[in-house]
Amino acid sequence: MKKVGKITNTWKKALQFIKAKDIPSAVEQLDTCLLILAQEESDIIDNLKVDLWKMRVWVKIEDLGVLPEYEARL
């Protein structure tokens, strides 16, 4: 894997785990992406905006269906 940057490499590892159907490992890598994003002080990581990275990671987590269902109780 070409070394681009910490978040890019972590993202690519997550995608590889997803392709291999190793969901727990993919979720672990996506969690690591979120930690990297939370600690980042600049608006750009690996030549992309932090908000774009956040959106990519959250959409992938939602696509995997690993978030618990939310029940609104009124």
CA distance 73 to 58: 24
The residue ranges of the chain whose pLDDT is under 50 are none
**Domain segments of the chain as ranges:** 6-63
Q: pTM (2 decimals)?
A: 0.83
pLDDT score of 72: 64
Q: What is the pLDDT of residue 6?
A: 82
Residue 65 Rama label (left phi>0; alpha psi -120 to 50; beta): left
CB contact at 8 A, 10 and 29:
yes
